[in-house]
Structure formats: structure tokens, C-alpha cells
Amino acid sequence: MKNYDLVRHVKGESKFVDDILTPEGCLHAYVLYSQIAHGDIKSVNIDDALQMEGVEGIFTAKDIPGENQIGGIIQDEELLASCKVDFIGQPIAIVVAKTVALAKEASKKIIVDIEELTPVIDPRVAFEKGELIMSPRVFSLGDVEANWNKCALIVEGTVESGGQEHLYLETQGAFACPVEGGGVKIVSSTQSPTTVQKTAAKVLGLKMHLIEVDVLRLGGGFGGKEDQASQWAAMAAMAALKLNKPVKLILPRQDDLRMTGKRHPYSSDYKMGLNKEGKIVNYEVTFYQNAGASADLSPAILDRTLFHCTNSYFVPNVKATACSCKTNLPPNTAFRGFGGPQGMFVIEAAIYKAAEKLGIDPCFIQEKNLLAEGDEFSYGQKAEQCMATASWESAISKFNLPHLKKEIDEFNAASKIVKKGIALMPICFGISFTTTFLNQASALVHVYSDGSVGVSTGAIEMGQGVNMKIRQVVASVFSIKIDRIKNETTNTTRNANTSATAASSGADLNGKAAQLACNNILNRLKDAAAKYLSLENSDLIEIKDEVIYYENKPTRLLWNELISSAYMQRVSLSSHAYYAPPGIYFDKDKAKGKPFAYHVYGTAIIQVAVDCLKGVYEIESVKIVHDFGKSINKAIDRSQTEGAVMQGIGWMTMEELKYNENGRLLTDALSTYKVPDIYFAPKEFEVEFLDNPNDSLAVFNSKAIGEPPFMYGIGAYFAIMNAMKSYKPEKNFEIISPMTPERLLLSLYN
Ligand code: MTE
Ligand code: MOS
């Protein structure tokens, strides 16, 4: 099953926001932003800029007709800075002109007077000052205090993990067009059309029904367009309504890098206690999340750090505290894994340090502590259909780990400068939005009288193949050819109150809604077929490969004739359906519940070669056994796995965001921010499908795949550490990621 969208991508036929044919008179907007990370705005003078030929309007905070508020979870963020600025890149004015170049030129003539204050960049400094987004959150299980004296070994330390730029190929942007009745139609590059609609309505002081949001597809989102696509859409909509002309706003790459939030950097303290058999008895951890200047999605991301702080291990006594710290950086936001990777990295670091103390391979401790069926997570849910040990054992035997290790030992004994290293990385990731009410979706299916089908859902296609999966669901329920089906754009007038396509649950939630809608139509079609064929029992009717069967025997009726007959019989060929997964809940106050529909498991073995003189490394192989459930599209699932792993490895190794002490992003271009390319891709990449067909909350038992494999990337960090250790066995390295070549050399020789 080829993903049709990819064919269009390769041919260059796919359309993105900036490809929309704009109507005559379309204007272009450019956003002027703060060059200062913290300060009070004394004045903003737009007079000279407004005089420029071709400039049609300039809007600042005081021009906002509704509320100057865009915070999704906490109302703490202005669309346009009114009296203070909190980060470099914070929008101050929207300049609208006949061309982009003119708008940018005019923005340089705006004089902004800001009285500078000292910025805070470090989350621990923010914590000391009491600058928190909300009060700290705690998850606990058992009794940590009572058990330290039962531990044979206790390790303590700190762990740093860096941020990460989403680097979606299509930058943030929107196109807005005024429509009759004072409303506006917005085409946006967003993972969450409803958030765009709500935000625009609030900013413009309009009812939601006056705002229509339409999304064809995104050139990547990776979480960066879950919340942070809304402001650009709201700005374009405001300019469009003010000037009564269509307005397009597309962020230039460098502005996008500077203005938008990223994965949260974390600084964490851990303390782990183990008994003499190597079982983890106690785990205490405190996370300091660098949230940036406002809440954005930080509280939810912080929660997922806690949910995944013990990864795929059973720990009987856990105390995990998480603090969201307010700093003068752009508000950090969702990024594949949603805080999970930051949590998992710390427990892997603690295990690594415990193993180092014992002089053993970390995988002995990892293996001893893998989750078993029925084990309880710190948030109260139990591990069900647990694949932790199955995937671990399967990876070891399928890829012959003892042999790989022996080869590495032999290589390292003979090689002085280049050292090889290996690490195992088990993962366990919960599927569902942990904010329970967000787990809902809807779909609208039309069968047209010629037998073709259109399906629209709340899902956003952003390269992950959700449209193809939904199309497969429709094809499967009707048992018709896939090319009869078309995915319509995601549009707020067809599916309202949708959740973001996020939390890896896009296909599960929207696929199930589409399945329900198709079933509604199918039932009507069966009745229509029975009538047409003068048969008694419509329950005995089935469609198989576009042929109508009765009692398992083909009839003369085919799909096309059935559809036209149903139409003539005045049977509705359309259905709208709603889906919400049953049985999930979470009590935030008690921090207990069953937040996840199911968990996804797997194990990766990652092997690297490190040049200990130059500091550079190669990823030699990535070998994975992953629990896909019963995959409905192996090509998509494999590519999601590969892409996520590479993104995870990038986060752990070469992708480094650097801010100076004034809060200025220094890595604001692709010359300074490095991402993995094809040459850095593993020389060998094997993905084995572990069959686990039992999860009925996954669409057609095909488990969510968008985020879980990201966390395999953590294995690359420890594989590099493993290689470094064989170069300098006497050294104990600090755990600071990303492990750039620079850091690697500093660690070896400092
Ligand atoms: N794959 C591609 N190609 N582009 C993306 O932007 N986003 C990831 C993942 N895979 C992304 C991607 C993220 S962060 C999530 S949450 C899921 O896709 C969302 O889609 P799904 O719910 O359909 O898996
Ligand atoms: Mo993904 S970070 O949930 O958009």
C-alpha cells in the first residue's frame, strides 16, 4: 500500500500554504519582533514605516479588537507585546504591504524603545527565584524514604538534556481571506485547526462560527504546530479583516528559528537505589523544565515527563517531582515524545551510572528491571499485554547480541583511536492524550452517486501517513478499491471541536471515527441491496471486493450499481460519526488513573564507532524489535520508525541549541544548527515487527507509531559513552546531552 501523498511530494505536486494561488490584491505580512529578551516597552513608533509607499497597515497590541491573549492552557501569553517583552523573537507589530520585501523593509523603520531588564536563561536560576509556570507536580508510588536503607547501592547525580529545533520543511504560516458577514477563512499550517479557530475568534472578538480553518497538509509539524501555529493565523486574520483584503503571512526560516519554541531543555537530579541482585528499589528524581517565557503546552509536557520517568522498568518506590521554570526564551512547546524522552533519558543515565559503579554492562540492570504483566506504573495504571521482555529477548536473539559484543571487543582490542560502542534501549510509551477530554475525534464520509468516496476527519496529514491509513480504513469497511477514496482537507466546518493531531493518536482516534461513519453507511447499503435484490435478510449481505454477496455467494450486484440504486431509493449516502475511546481517566489531584488506552513497547540495539582523536562518530547500526500491534501499513510504520529514530539520535548527538547570556539564539541558521543527514544515517537499519494483535483501542489493532520510536535515539548516546569508556576506562563522564563532537572531546581530554 503505497502512500499516495509521497508520489506527489516526489513530483513536486503537493501544495503547501505558500503554494496557494492568491487572489488579486493579496497583501503580505511581516512580523516585527523583540531584539531584547527581557524589558519594559517604553514606546513603539510606527509613523515613518507607515509613510512608506506600498505599506497598507501596521498593527500593534492596541489594534487588537478582541483579547490580546493566546495562551492555550494558561492565559499568560500576549499575541503582540503590549508593555513588556519576555524573549527575543516576541512579536510586537504586524506590518502589511504589497510585497514581503516591502513589509520587511518597512519594519526596519519602526522604532521600539525598550528599557532592558536582566534575563533569566537557566531553569534552575528561575526556580531559585520562584519563577514557575505553576506549582511543582509530583508522582509517587510506594515509599522511597522507608527503603533507602534496604539498598545495596545508591547512585546520585545530575543530567542535562538540550532543546531541539523542529525544523519542519514548511515554516509557520497562514493565509487569511475576509468573507461575507464579517468572518474570515484561514488556510493554516497547523496540527490543530480548532486551536487556530478558537485563538483567532478570541483575538478578533468574533464567534467561532465566523472563522473557518482549512488545512490541506503540513510540510512537517513534529509538535511545533500543535499550539504555535495559531498566532500567525490570528495575525493574518486580523490584518485581513482590518484591511478587508486577503493577507498571507509566512515566516522566513531564520525568523521561524528565532521566534518559535522548541523541545524543552531539562536539568534533572536523580537518586537511585538498587539491591544486591541489581533490582531497582528506589528512584527519586527532580526535573527542572526550561519552559521559556509562557506556559504554552509546558504543563502537559511536564506531566508526560512524569508518566514516562521510569521508562519500561518496574520500580516499586518512586518519587518524581517536576518543576516548570519560567525563563526569557521563546515558549518551548510540543516536540515528538512530548516530554517523555527527557524523562526516560534520566533513568537511563541513572542505570548507566549504577552499572559504572558496579563495573558491569548497563544492560544487566536494564534487563533485570523490565516491566512484567500487571506491574504498576507510578500513576496507577497496570502494564497490560506487556511486551517489554518479549521485545528485549527477541532483539537479543534475532540480532545475536553476544556475537555483536564479541566483534566489538575484538575490534576495540586491536584499534587504538577508533572505538566501537553498543547500547540497548528499551522503550515503553503510553498512547492517548493524558488530558483525557482531548481523546475525541469525528469524521464525515460521503459516498457520491458515482461510487467514489470523500472522507474528512479531524486528522492532519503532516507526512506521517495518517490520510493513507484513514483511506485504508474506509476501503476496508466498504471493501472497495483504495483509489475510489479521496481524503478531503481538514476543515472546521466539516469536523468541529477537533483535537490536535498529536500524541501519536491521529490515526487511532480519527480512523475509528471514520470506521464508525462508514459502518453507518454500510448498514444502510445492506438494506438497500436487500430491497434491490428482493432478499429477506440484510444481515446476510456482505461486500467483498466491490461485489455484493448474499449468504457468502456473489450476487449480480456490484458497488456502482448498489450506490446508484441506494440513491434512487432515497437512502442517505453520507454519515458523520464521533469517537471517544472508553475506559481512560486521570485524576490530576491524586496523580492516579488509567490515562493510556495502551502502551507501545520495543527494544533497540544501537552500535556506533567513535574516533577518539577527532571526536566524530558514525552510527553503524540500529536494530529494532518494535511492537506495532497488527500494522495496517508496514511501509508507513517502518518509515515513521526510521524517521523518529533519526530525529531522536539527532537530539542526543549533534543538534545543539545555543543561547548567549542575553537570551539570543546563536544557532539560528542551518550553518550552525546541525541535523542528521543521509550520510549520518545508520549504515544498517533493521526494523522487526513484533506481532501483538490484541489492542482493540488501536485502529484495526494497528498501534500508534508517530512518537514511540523517537526514544530509541537515547541508545545512541549511551553507545557513544560505551565507546568512550573503552578509550578511557578510568574516566567517569558527566551525563550532558547532546553529545556533540566538541563535547565528546572535552569529556575525553578535560
Ligand atoms: N512524521 C512526519 N513525517 N512529520 C511530522 O510532522 N510528527 C510526529 C509524528 N510523525 C510528524 C511525523 C508527531 S510529533 C506526532 S504526535 C505524530 O506524527 C502525529 O501523527 P499521528 O497521530 O497520526 O501519528
Ligand atoms: Mo506530537 S509532539 O504529540 O505533535
Give 533-543 pLDDT, tens digit per residue.
999 999 999 99
Give yes or no for residue 506 CB within 6 A of ligand 1.
yes
Please work out whether the CB of residue 503 comes within 6 Å of at least one atom of ligand 2.
Answer: yes
- Evaluate if residue 136 carries a pLDDT over 90: yes
- Determine which residue's CA is closest to atom 4 belonging to ligand 2: 223
pLDDT at 231: 98
Residues designated catalytic: 707
Instruction: Please tell me the residue having the least CA distance from ligand 1 atom 18.
Output: 706
Span 699-727, mean pLDDT?
98
Residue 4 has pLDDT above 90, yes or no: no
Whether pLDDT at 2 is above 80? no
Q: Which residue in the block uniquely carries the three cell numbers 453507511?
A: 521
pLDDT attached to residue 728? 98
pLDDT at 584 (0 to 100): 98
Residue 96's alpha-carbon distances to 30, 35, 244, 624, in angstroms, are 6, 20, 12, 50
CA–CA gap between residue 11 and residue 738 (Å, rounded): 36
Rounded distance between C-alpha atoms, residue 157 and residue 330, angstroms: 28
Residue 32 above 80 pLDDT?
yes
Residue 695 confidence class, pLDDT cut points 50, 70, 90: confident
No. of helices (H) and no. of strands (E), the chain: 18, 30
Judged against a pLDDT cut of 80, whether residue 267 lies above it is answered with yes
Over the chain, what is the mean pLDDT? 97
Looking at all shown ligands, the one closest to residue 229's CA atom is: 2
Range in 14-28, 582-596, 688-702 with the lowest mean pLDDT: 688-702
**76-86 b/e with 16+ CB inside 10 Å = b?**
bbbbbbeeebb
Cis-peptide into 682, omega within 30 deg: no
24-26-31 Cα angle (round to 5): 170
pLDDT at 283: 98
Ligand 1 nearest atom to the CA of residue 459, by list position: 23
CA 418, CA 431: separation in Å to the nearest integer?
Answer: 40
Instruction: Ligand 2 pocket test: pick from 226, 260, 460 the residue with the most ligand atoms within 8 Å of its Cβ.
Output: 226
Task: Give the per-residue pLDDT at 3.
Answer: 81
Mean per-residue pLDDT, 421-433: 98
- Expressed in angstroms and rounded, the spacing between residue 6 Cα and the centre of ligand 2 is 21
Checking if the pLDDT of 518 tops 80, the result is: yes
* Distance (Å) from CA 520 to ligand 2 centroid: 31
Q: State the pLDDT at residue 693.
A: 77
pLDDT at 59 (0 to 100)? 98
Which DSSP string corresponds to 624-643? EEEEEES-S-HHHHHHHHHH
Q: How confident is the model at residue 333 (pLDDT cuts 50, 70, 90)?
A: very high
Ligand 2 and 165: CB distance under 6 A: no
Question: Which positions ≥6 away from 610 have C-beta within 8 Å?
Answer: 418, 419, 420, 421, 616, 617, 720, 723, 724, 727, 744
Supply the pLDDT for residue 26: 98
For range 662-684, the mean pLDDT: 97
Distance 216 CA to ligand 2 centre (A): 18
pLDDT for residue 696: 84
| Residues 609 and 618: beta-carbon distance below 8 Å | yes
**pLDDT tens digits along 594-651:** 999 999 999 999 999 999 999 999 999 999 999 999 999 999 999 999 999 999 999 9
Cβ–Cβ under 8 Å, residues 33 and 232: no
Angle between helices 634-652 and 340-358 (to 10 degrees): 60
For residues 495 and 443, is the Cβ–Cβ distance under 8 A?
A: yes
Asked if pLDDT for residue 485 goes beyond 80, the answer is: yes
pLDDT, position 673: 98
Ligand closest in space to the Cα of 464: 1
Instruction: Give the whole-angstrom CA distance, residue 707 versus residue 431.
Output: 9
Q: Measure Cα distances from 507 to 88, 443, 459, 750 in Å.
A: 37, 12, 7, 49
Q: In what order do the strands lie in the sheet with 553-558?
A: 541-544, 547-550, 553-558
Q: For the segment 352-394, what is each residue's pLDDT rounded down to a tens digit?
A: 999 999 999 999 999 999 999 999 999 999 999 999 999 999 9
pLDDT of the residue at 729: 97
